[in-house]
Structure 1
Amino acid sequence: MKIIDWYILKRFLVTFLFTLLILIPIAVAIDISEKIDNFLEHADLGFYQVVDEYYKNFIIYYANTFMPLALFIAVILFTSKLSNNTEIIAITNAKVSFTRFLYPYFLGATLITMVSLLMNHFVVPSSSKTRKKFEKEYINSRKQKNELKYINDFSLQLTDSTYIFIRSFNTQSNSGYDFTSEVYNGLKLKSKLVGDNIKFNTKDSVFTLQNWRKRQIYKDRDSIFSGNKLDTVFSFTPKDLIYKSALSQEMPSDELMKFIRISKKRGVKNLNAYLVEFHKRTSLPIASYILTIIAVALAFRKKRGGTGINLAIGVAIMFIYVFLMKISEVLGAVADVNSLLYVWMPNFFFGSLAIYLYYYAKK
């Protein structure tokens, strides 16, 4: 690397860190002003616990979320400063092409992308689990706490031949009613177990059925058994009933993919909300390269209005990118669509814009 490369890379990373360190305290200050009443409601909640269990993980989450925005703003600010100081003119007069000029920027974007990928796939999910547990206990309203309490009309494929259905289940008391388990031999029903009530015993991982009836189907006859109480085991737990798309944010990527594979085998119909979360963890960090090209191309030439006009255009572009990203996440979570395509759609659109600006800046 040449001296100019080290100069650009160092100033780029310093500006990026400076921008990130400005955004994080703002987010923390806004959050404190919103939640201070919730903290004061709990006399047993100490300052160290709030910092250790909540704000430490809050900073990890939002530092990762703000990385693309901080990178984009940092590139615009730093490159605009180079342009206004006519340093870029000196660089181009030295026969340095626009492509070669991007080299240190791409090195910086690569470092940020690698950190963001590591955080997205492993660090942030584990951190979010602690943060959301704290929110559930001290911040969220009773309605939010009970959001995952009741599960209605839930069906699950346990094996290739075994299916269960539960009309309603309370995850707090681990009990429910109107339970059905069906075992098939190909397309033919082999046996059917029905219980008016079902309860899971966490101590021995056994399900207890009340007022149960079992129908065993043979080739030439059927047998029906019944009783008041039946202790049995199934290859699922109440935890399998309460997985929601929000909980996918708390699973590291390896655990998330394992859950998706198991759910597919069990016949869960729509897993796109989980797939959106998984694909987003890669698409957003990769956007760092796209946003870097756009930011450099915008600020490469000196404009009337200087840094202000470049920053205004950049913020507008970033707002459109975030808006499209949120729309793509919602559309990608709909059943029977290609979630991968929808999650990457903002990158495809802005990638095309980056290519156009790149060739325009080269002229």
Structure 2
Amino acid sequence: MKILDWYILKRYLTTFFFTLLILIPIAVAIDISEKIDKFLRNDDLTLFEIANDYYKNFIIYYANTFLPLALFIAVIIFTSRLANNSEIVAINSSQISFTRFLYPYFLGATLVTIFALFMNHFIVPNSSKTRKEFENNYFKKQKYEDRTVRNFSLQLNDSTYIFIQNFDLKRNQGYNFSTETYSGLKLKYKLEADNITWREQDTAFRLLNWKERRIFNNIDSISTGNSKDTTFAFTPKDFNYKSTYAQEMPSGELSEFIKISKKRGVKNLNAYLVEFYKRTSLPVASYILTLIAVALAHKKRRGGMGVNLAFGISIMFIYVFFLKVAEVLGAVAGANALLNVWMPNIVFGCLAIYLYFNARK
């Protein structure tokens, strides 16, 4: 690697981390001003808990969120400085092509991408879980929340299905429960109960007014009873499909959850798929944003860095807008979550390629 490459890579990473370090304190200061009254309201809350349980994880989450913005602004700032100081003119005079000039930029983008992938898939989910537990304990007012699941069906394996007319997740009690086992298209076993209750201390379900039917070749066996304790390959947690939980699962756990849920016949998992795909698409955007920023800022302009920043922030605003729209559309039932999540990268990737060929001239 040449001295020039080290010079650009060092400026790339230094300006990126400096920009990120400017944005984070601003976010923390705004958040403190909004939540100071809530901190003071909780007499049992210590300064260590606020710093360790909340703001440590707050910084991790928002540093990851601001990463594309910090990267884009950083590349525009230091590339504009290179152009204004006529350093890029000197580089061009040395017969270094624009493509070769991009080499240290893409090396820096690779380092940022690897870091962001590690954060998105492993660190941020665990951090978000701790932060949201803190928020639920100290920030959110206690209010009634309907936690009843209605008309819920689940496929436990290739041949077994369950159905519950309604289940109260707070009381762990449900009504009109049934489970059926098939051999091909033929029903082989059915168990019904008027009432089903989860007994956490026994890790078992209690059925009331139950009826059991076993189907053989020439005869059926029917049993009934008032009360029966039994186990199934599910717990009440499997009834609660909320997209917010996806943000708290490491990618391995989230992938396994999606796989099992598909097998169980859950109809709409797009919110989970969007979260899973987004963890890869956002880091990869580092290459696209880097190329766009260099193509915009590599020439000296009248107005200097301010003009480049104005263009860059406008493009960044449009990118974030497209990103949020794509996430919403991708979470809709029946939509192609993978295509929607990657659509902003595809569109802005085309823009980056156009600016690249235009800059080569």
Within 5 Å, which residues of 2 pair with 1:149-228?
149-228=147-226
Structure-1 residue corresponding to 2:10: 10
SS at 2:266 equivalent: coil
Instruction: Give ranges in structure 1 of 5+ residues lacking alignment.
Output: none
- The runs of at least 4 consecutive aligned structure 1 residues that moved more than 3 Å come to 215-224
- CA–CA separation in structure 2 for the residues paired with 1:176 and 1:68: 46
Q: Under a length normalisation based on structure 1, what TM-score does the superposition of the two structures give?
A: 0.96
Q: For residues 85-100 of structure 1, what are the structure 2 equivalents within 5 Å?
A: 85-100=85-100
Q: Deviations for 1:257-283, whole angstroms, at most 9, x for unmatched residues?
A: 111111111111122211111110000
Rounded Cα–Cα distance in structure 2 between residues aligned with 1:62 and 1:313: 24
The aligned runs of 1:138-157 (5 Å cut-off) are 138-143=138-143, 146=145, 149-157=147-155
Q: Percent identity?
A: 66
Deviation, 1:94, is: 1.2
Aligned residue for 2:284? 286
**Paired residue for 1:306?**
304
Q: TM-score, normalised by structure 2?
A: 0.96
Q: What do residues 111-134 of structure 1 show as CA deviations (whole Å, max 9, x unaligned)?
A: 110000000000111111111111
Q: Which moved more, 1:38-47 or 1:219-228?
A: 219-228
2 CA distance for matches of 1:141 and 1:80?
48
* 1:284-363 pair list within 5 angstroms: 284-363=282-361
Corresponding residue SS for 1:243: coil
The secondary structure found in structure 2 opposite 1:287 is helix
- Secondary structure, counterpart of 2:299 in structure 1: coil
Task: Give the drift of 1:159.
Answer: 1.5
* 1:165-214 per-position Cα deviation (integer Å, ceiling 9, x unaligned): 12222223222222121222221222322222211112221100122222
Q: Distance in 1 between matches of 2:156 and 2:36?
A: 45
What SS is found at the alignment partner of 1:17?
helix
SS class of match (2:154): strand
Cα distance in 2 for partners of 1:209, 1:245 equals 30
- Can you list the C-alpha shifts for 1:258-316, whole angstroms capped at 9, x where unaligned? 11111111111122211111110000000000000000000011111111111011111
Please give the alpha-carbon distance, in whole angstroms, between the structure 2 residues aligned to 1:197 and 1:22. 57
Q: Which moved more, 1:214-223 or 1:241-250?
A: 214-223
- 1:239 corresponds to which letter in structure 2? K
Q: Which residue in 2 is equivalent to 1:43?
A: 43
One-letter amino acid of the structure 2 residue matched with residue 246 of structure 1: T
Letter in 2 for 1:188: K
Shift, 1:3, TM fit:
1.4
Number of residue pairs matched by the alignment: 361
Match of 1:52 in 2: 52
- Return the match for 1:261 from 255, 259, 262: 259
How far apart in 1 are the matches of 2:138 and 2:148? Answer: 21
